[in-house]
Amino acid sequence: MKATEKDGNPLIPTSVFQYFFRHHDPVIEGTALVAFAREDEKPMDWNSRELDVHIW
């Protein structure tokens, strides 16, 4: 899935995240693998990074 752009800022769709909810824990955690690839490249290990989001 490709990110879109709005006002010069990348928008990552929330559907790419896996969310984890823990009982009795106020933190919601989302994890996604994000690739920084050129238009003609496929996502690979070397151009990908894990993005962790924690919502308190």
Structure tokens at 48: 């990908």
Q: pTM for the full model?
A: 0.53
Q: Which amino acid is at 34?
A: V
Per-residue model confidence as pLDDT tens digits over 13-49: 888 887 777 778 777 788 888 888 888 888 888 888 8
**pLDDT exceeds cutoff 90 at 7:** yes
Q: How many angstroms separate the first and last alpha carbons of the chain?
A: 27
